[in-house]
Amino acid sequence: MLIVMKHGASQKNEDKVVEYIKTRGFQAHISKGDVHTVIGAVGGKIIDPRDIELLDGVKEVIKITSSYKLVSRVFQKKDTIIEINGEKFGGKNIGIIAGPCTIESEEQIMECAKALSKMGVKIIRGGAFKPRTSPYAFQGLGEEGLILIRKAADKYNLAVTSEIMEISQIPLFEKYVDILQIGARNMQNFNLLKEVSHVKKPIILKRGLSATIEEWLMAAEYLMAGGNREIILCERGIRTFETTTRNTLDLCAIPVVKKLSHLPIIIDPSHGTGLRDKIYPMSMASVAAGCDGLIIEVHNNPERAICDGAQSLYPKQFKELYDKLKVLAPVCDKVIS
Ligand code: PEP
Ligand code: MN
């Protein structure tokens, strides 16, 4: 249920509404728009909306039948803009994240960080806990990996994003990482979503391999309902009958999500295609379709990469792409800082 306050309603009016819904078991999430304040009431028992409409300062009560409320455009009209280390996602901004699939060694992550920072990248990616399809594949360096990526990021003034796989890893991520990534395979790990929602850091929520957009938004709702408002949605390709590419990158998700939600949506063309030569066209297409950012795998030596070398760009290729994206963005009424 969303309670839209009248233009000019006082703080006292707002407090009264919050107090009222709380006594009926709801949590209140407030969104202050330019004209109206909207109070999202979640979690409580069904009440008659007319009881709320009678309170001073209330314009209307909107009953939301969809299963997500706080992530919806009805709750918040304005785009959510998230800023991390000077890089912005949302609104007119396109944020860029780049780095290797996984952290392999100090030398590898240092080289990647050095090359990327030189190009102006502000956020580095790299997995330390890897969700691998085969139990025999490299599982990541674990805490050691997080220590190494933090060291590299600190040296080159970068923020770090890395994938968290389970609740017990939260303290490690609070210590070493700036943006938590929830991977495609964990998009519906509801216990993880609930716990991570309390962490005071931005979260990248990847779309599940076979998740509908509605399921994905409901997963984001778990994070928002738990109190986290800095959520970046990430389309990373879905599973279809097509086998030429690793996944089918659903670029139509961009306009669909932007209409339904105020949250920024970024694209991962690396996992979305699985093929290095497809990264350039899909990144350009993502910007043209209105994305709020890109997360791209870049490796200092892709042939030697332990994981996902075939979809990783060489630093030089990334530089060419980055330069072109900066030319394209203004044409699409966007900026890449
Ligand atoms: C990753 O980004 O390293 C990753 C494993 O991606 P996904 O969860 O989208 O498969
Ligand atoms: Mn990867």
pLDDT tens digits, one per residue of 263-285: 999 999 999 999 999 999 999 99
Give the list of residues 6+ apart from residue 217 with CB closer than 8 angstroms, or none. 68, 71, 72, 233, 257, 260, 261
Of 88, 36, 77, the closest CA to residue 57 belongs to 36
Neighbours of 266 (CB within 10 A): 24
**61 has a pLDDT exceeding 90:** yes
Residue nearest to atom 9 of ligand 1 (CA): 184
What 3-state class would DSSP assign to 287?
helix
Q: What is residue 159's predicted lDDT score, i.e. its pLDDT? A: 98
Q: Would the pLDDT of 66 be above 80?
A: no
Sheet with 58-62: strands ordered across: 27-32, 37-42, 2-5, 58-62
Q: Which two tokens stand for residue 99?
A: 């780095």
Indicate the helix (H) or strand (E) that contains 204: strand 203-206
Measuring CA to CA, which residue among 157, 189, 193, 154 is closest to residue 175?
154
pLDDT at 65 over 90: no
- What one-character DSSP code corresponds to residue 224? H
* Ligand nearest, relative to CA of residue 187: 1
Q: What is the pTM of this model?
A: 0.94
Distance in Å, CA 184 to ligand 1 centroid: 6
What is the share, in percent, of the chain residues with pLDDT greater than 90? 94
The mean of the pLDDT values for the chain is: 96
3-state secondary structure of 88: strand
Atom of ligand 1 nearest to the CA of 237: 9
Ligand 1 near 101 CB (within 6 A): yes
Cβ atoms within 10 Å, residue 146:
24
